[in-house]
Structure 1
């Protein structure tokens, strides 16, 4: 794994989202040039979805329209709110509205986590079932994308963070942050609503070649500073995100103010 993250700072949230969007298109194009396909793990949150809208602006008749072969991109999610399909709180619903529905993606390469109202054999009804179902999806993808028997070597994993230092749906000193296996877990009793979720574990996230933490606002500054200063991932889960080749923090000036 990489050591200390590389930190890139933009003036504000909007500029950070634009910078992340531009970098993502470049990374996907480079991955396809190297391996014939590309994979990305998406995140939610205000800046995560804002970044996808910036990608849409660059692609929709813009200067980066033809950079990426979208039919050869695999799309995953790092975590999901365990609510019904189509619910506005779902990360996949927000991502589809912001970008994915406008792209010529191969539906077979887009891998959302199960909704709470999905059939039981597809992971509905219980977050642990949804986690097991997504673990099988990842294992099947790993055989195509490489990285091991259970988790693909994602090209880019995108993550946001919370003011207390959570990433994905892995919260400080929670059962999920103590998970030692590279896999997927059901998450209950989250301190941030909705309380029930599904998430990659930190060891699973660390299979990504590159991990990009995208954050804005002074509410994130203290947690970022603690993670950068060597805090335990149990106390500040941000500290546990490290890519195998690169760890990149894309921050605005407010989020970076205590580094």
Structure 2
């Protein structure tokens, strides 16, 4: 079973800075062991804050970014450059500062680039397959970042939607999202869980219920975040507000760490 940890920080700034430091450290270690790294990004306030903290870090350039390929876990099906697209937010927060080649930034298709959203999903699945090892349908992801909604959704996998049950596809089109816009593209849960490490970053009291249910192993069909399980490690990076309502019996030493226990990211 994957090793699962919860790391708690005093506020959103401390949370973003800590995750950024660990991300840089992990990439340096990964690239010392293999030629390339594949990273899956997320959107949202904390996803953008983590990337901005990486951009501002004094240790940013210890990473050989030319050997990192970026993907996304989901995307709003909007025109290219729309400020609500996860890709746009990620570019502004970090990617544009890294001087990456176009081949390193694997964005989901934008509205108008394909005949329809189903064709867009197929196109992204084909792009993932083209970068995959022989016999695989997608690359070996080293780190997948996820945000978590107050309802427990991850990527664009929502409670009680068919997409959270899908085990056959790599990419799906969601056309009835409960959050606007209704049209989105998303990786499926098995693809997310194939990642070596899954890092979930969440902050705020409105996320406390979802975190508690995830740690209590709720039904993933009802609470999608409860189904997340990276191959080597699953880490919940949270602020104190998000952790405030987690039942005490789940805050054991085996499954709960505070910032005081953090390994220095040197």
TM-score by length of 1: 0.92
Residue 98 of structure 1 pairs with residue 93 of structure 2: yes
Of 88, 91, 94, the match for 2:83: 88
| Alignment check: 8 A CA contact 1:152 1:207 kept | no
Superposition pairs of residues 213-232 of structure 1, within 5 angstroms = 213-232=200-219
Aligned residues: 246
Alignment partners' CA distance in 2, 1:69 and 1:113: 24
Q: Secondary structure at the match of 2:39?
A: strand
RMSD of Structure 2 on Structure 1 (CA): 1.2
**Cα deviations across residues 103-156 of structure 1 (Å, max 9, x unaligned)?**
0222212100000121xxxxx24221111111111111112xx7x510221000
| Alignment check: 8 A CA contact 1:212 1:250 kept | yes
Partner of 1:149: 136
Q: Secondary structure at the match of 2:132?
A: helix
Of 102, 110, 116, the match for 1:126: 116
| Alignment check: 8 A CA contact 2:54 2:60 kept | no
Partner of 1:48: 47
Alignment partners' CA distance in 1, 2:90 and 2:102: 14
| Alignment check: 8 A CA contact 1:114 1:130 kept | yes
Residue 24 of structure 1 pairs with residue 19 of structure 2: no
Alignment partners' CA distance in 2, 1:65 and 1:229: 36
1:157 Cα deviation after fit: 0.1
Alignment partners' CA distance in 1, 2:16 and 2:146: 13
Superposition pairs of residues 62-77 of structure 1, within 5 angstroms = 62=58, 64-77=59-72
**Cα deviations across residues 13-36 of structure 1 (Å, max 9, x unaligned)?**
111111111111111111100102
| Alignment check: 8 A CA contact 2:150 2:206 kept | yes
Q: Secondary structure at the match of 1:142?
A: coil
Partner of 2:147: 160
Alignment partners' CA distance in 2, 1:229 and 1:237: 13
Alignment partners' CA distance in 2, 1:230 and 1:161: 15
**Cα deviations across residues 43-66 of structure 1 (Å, max 9, x unaligned)?**
0000000111000001xxx2x033
Unaligned regions of 5+ residues in structure 1, if any? 119-123
Partner of 1:7: 6
Alignment partners' CA distance in 2, 1:15 and 1:235: 31
1:193 Cα deviation after fit: 0.6
Q: Secondary structure at the match of 1:6?
A: strand
